[in-house]
Structure 1
Amino acid sequence: MNDRRYRVIQWATGNVGTRALRTLIEHPALDLVGLWVSSNAKRGQDAGVIAGLDPCGVIATGSVDDLVAIDADCVLYMRQGTDIDELCRLLASGKNVVTTRGDFHHPPSMDPATFHRIEASCQAGGTSIYSTGSSPGFITEALPIPLLSLSRRLDRLTIDEYADLSSRASPDLLFGVMGFGRAPRAFDPRQIEHVKGDFAGSLAQLADAAGIAIDQWDAAGEMGVATQAITIAAGTIAAGTVAAQRITISGLRHGKPVLRFRANWYCSGEVDRTDWELRPSGWRIRVEGDTPLDVAISFPVAPEDYAAFTPGLTAHRAVNAVAALCQAPPGIRTTADLPQVISRFQ
């Protein structure tokens, strides 16, 4: 067991960042030494109070200069949007970065100029950066790698993600942003490209590591409409309006999908898509080949506890990856080239 302690800065305190912050403060082998916040209201507050704990003596700041100057081993970078200038400063100052931003899953897919800037900063600081999380990350990389270790021929890997949004009391998100409760229409290409960017990059990492030849990456969106009026926590969805969505990201070889991720988001199972199987929230991973597998993961959490549960899915893997990344060679690291990420409980 590695008994070394690591000094960590938490960068941002949204839902996931706040969970990471709390976990850092409570972690047996990590020491919180700094906190960056975007909100003026949080600046000057004690990090423990922001995390819902007792004061811990670390005061939140919005100053990048102050945090760059701190002696720290790692930054947990969880802000909204990726600031490359900011990241380069952190890396060049000798701080490794674990991020839940999806920009670094597949280095060959990155913008060349950005790739070279990040790599140069890593070499200057002797540091590494790693993108991870639950999805993409755990479900598209960390779990498929050992599952495929049982196979010698792969015909297709399909990952289905299910998200039942009926208990989410967020009308602006569901109705305003995601378009539930509206008349069915064509998917916004920007939404599809955003999902494709994160998930195709993550699956491409898996393809490269396993030697799976992919000719092209395809993305498509579909909608399902409610067959009857339904009431959810965010409001009412009328019959004939959008109650389910699916975005599929496929790695094609000879025109057929070899790697496939499907995001199934729904507010009701009572939709007109009889060809869709809308399972409870969780994941299903199917391996087709000489060693077929069908693995289901569910979340046994009460609806009233779900909002408090979900941030941990993303935050905890990032926190647990700190030790592995701090011991890695400088550069942009991936799940395929890092050691196994192992939780430390005491």
Structure 2
Amino acid sequence: MRKPRIIQWGTGSMGRTTIRRILDRDDVELVGAYVTNPDKVGRDVGEIVKRPATGIIATNDIDQILALDADVVLHTSQISVPYAGQNADVIRLLESGKNVISPNGYNRPDYHGPDYAEPLRNAAIKGGATLAGIGLNPGFIVERIALSLAGLVGGRTDMRVYEVVDASNAPSPGLVFNAMGFGSDPAVSDLRQGPVAELYDTYFAEIFDYVAEKLGTRITEITPLHELTLAPHDIAIRVGTIAKGTVAATTWKWRAGFADGSGMLLSILWTSSHELHGEDAAAHWVIEIDGRPGVRATVELLDENPEAPPAKPAMDAMAVLLLNAVPHVMAAGPGFWDLPAILPARREVAP
């Protein structure tokens, strides 16, 4: 039985991490890499990730990627406005018979309605392939950890999940200044009202849909409560300088109400400096659940090298998630892959 043959789609920070993990393992094989940076086209993938030559040449020609004999595409391109803009490429990959694993959503395509979901589903069925959304958040912290902890709580009333991402050392200007919105001038445009907010409203709503289903209830409302933190002075980060008075941190925050009377808060803080937040920006994730008993848990990802960039442990963890999912996704039937989870006890509802 041959090893799963993998194509890496995107060679930003996450894609390069995933490629290194593939090269380090003996149970999978890298067979191709798709890049968008013209400077990477025609280069050996090993050179791109600072490893010995692999014989695999990076390309920006999707037809070359479609022609490869591969089982899985690890789709880690940078998510951008509009949310559905990535779907055209994903549809072509699925139609060619390649399973697609992506952290860019796809956890609950049906939540966005048939106009969004059906082209993806039809492409998967046509190609006999599976589309799987897998990641840390969405995909793991809430869906696997928080829901499992909810199984300890009787009379559950509220769940709160807080995430902190330190972007000060992120190497991609596009990620920091575009996708994250750092350096934007609130006097010119309010991130909380524009297309970036719409992107994240859509992307993270899939978490609430998953939670509601697994708890045996449904969403009644989702209210955005987004916050901006402005730079009190110029802040130097790896990819440039955030000017005083512009956005130095964003808190993407939503409160959902469920039909069983419970609620959930999801708060995601992306920051250029922990100094802006005091003690509120410590662990990567904090999970709190109210009920009998209440639960509070923290999750922090660590690197054995204390000098490692703050984002490195999260990228390593993401790579592990993506690669460990490969055999399970390959074994699934055509269509959408439903992320498995340990199901908690449902909330007690008085008769």
- Tell me the TM-score normalized by structure 2: 0.80
CA distance in 2 between counterparts of 1:221 and 1:270 reads: 20
Q: Residue 251 of structure 2: which of 235, 246, 251 is its match? A: 246
1:193 aligns with 2:198: yes
1:325 aligns with 2:323: no
Q: CA deviation at 1:127?
A: 1.5
* 1:306 counterpart SS class: coil
| Matching of residues 180-259 of structure 1 within 5 Å | 186-190=190-194, 191-224=196-229, 229=233, 232-233=236-237, 235=241, 238=244, 244-253=249-258, 258-259=263-264
- Tell me the TM-score normalized by structure 1: 0.81
2:270 is aligned with what amino acid? W
CA distance in 1 between counterparts of 2:206 and 2:329 reads: 20
- Given that 1:24 and 1:30 are in contact with CA atoms closer than 8 Å, whether structure 2 keeps it comes out as yes
Task: State the percentage of identical aligned residues.
Answer: 26
Match of 2:284 in 1: 282
CA distance in 2 between counterparts of 1:268 and 1:203 reads: 29
Match of 1:142 in 2: 144
Are residues 37 and 171 of structure 1, via their aligned partners in 2, closer, same or farther at CA, if it must alter by over 3 Å? Answer: closer
* 2:225 counterpart SS class: strand
Question: Structure 1 stretches of 5 or more lacking a match?
Answer: 340-346
CA distance in 2 between counterparts of 1:60 and 1:174 reads: 25
Match of 1:120 in 2: 122
- Given that 1:243 and 1:266 are in contact with CA atoms closer than 8 Å, whether structure 2 keeps it comes out as yes
Q: CA deviation at 1:200?
A: 1.3
Q: CA deviation at 1:4?
A: 6.6
CA distance in 1 between counterparts of 2:262 and 2:307 reads: 35
Match of 2:103 in 1: 100
Q: Could you say what the CA RMSD is over the residues aligned between the two structures, in angstroms?
A: 3.3
CA distance in 2 between counterparts of 1:223 and 1:93 reads: 42
- Given that 1:264 and 1:278 are in contact with CA atoms closer than 8 Å, whether structure 2 keeps it comes out as no
Are residues 64 and 201 of structure 1, via their aligned partners in 2, closer, same or farther at CA, if it must alter by over 3 Å? Answer: same
1:47 aligns with 2:45: yes
Q: CA deviation at 1:53?
A: 1.0
Q: CA deviation at 1:15?
A: 1.2
CA distance in 2 between counterparts of 1:225 and 1:94 reads: 47
CA distance in 1 between counterparts of 2:111 and 2:75 reads: 21
Are residues 147 and 60 of structure 1, via their aligned partners in 2, closer, same or farther at CA, if it must alter by over 3 Å? Answer: same
CA distance in 2 between counterparts of 1:225 and 1:39 reads: 31
Are residues 89 and 337 of structure 1, via their aligned partners in 2, closer, same or farther at CA, if it must alter by over 3 Å? Answer: farther
Q: Residue 75 of structure 1: which of 68, 73, 76 is its match? A: 73
Match of 2:266 in 1: 261
CA distance in 1 between counterparts of 2:104 and 2:328 reads: 18
Match of 2:82 in 1: none
Q: CA deviation at 1:89?
A: 2.5
Residue range with higher mean Cα deviation, 301-310 or 149-158: 301-310
2:287 is aligned with what amino acid? I
Q: CA deviation at 1:59?
A: 1.9
1:87 is aligned with what amino acid? V
Q: CA deviation at 1:203?
A: 2.3
Match of 1:311 in 2: 315
Are residues 93 and 338 of structure 1, via their aligned partners in 2, closer, same or farther at CA, if it must alter by over 3 Å? Answer: farther
Match of 1:90 in 2: 93
Are residues 129 and 54 of structure 1, via their aligned partners in 2, closer, same or farther at CA, if it must alter by over 3 Å? Answer: same
Question: Structure 2 stretches of 5 or more lacking a match?
Answer: 80-84, 344-351
Q: CA deviation at 1:325?
A: 0.8
Q: CA deviation at 1:158?
A: 0.6
Q: CA deviation at 1:159?
A: 0.5
2:11 is aligned with what amino acid? T
- Given that 2:73 and 2:101 are in contact with CA atoms closer than 8 Å, whether structure 1 keeps it comes out as yes
1:205 is aligned with what amino acid? Y
Match of 2:348 in 1: none
2:135 is aligned with what amino acid? G
Please list the CA deviations of residues 174-196 of structure 1 after superposition, one character each: whole Å capped at 9, or x if unmatched. Answer: 67863459678854312322222
CA distance in 2 between counterparts of 1:261 and 1:39 reads: 34
* 2:42 counterpart SS class: coil
CA distance in 1 between counterparts of 2:115 and 2:257 reads: 27
- Given that 2:157 and 2:261 are in contact with CA atoms closer than 8 Å, whether structure 1 keeps it comes out as no
Match of 1:342 in 2: none
1:25 is aligned with what amino acid? L
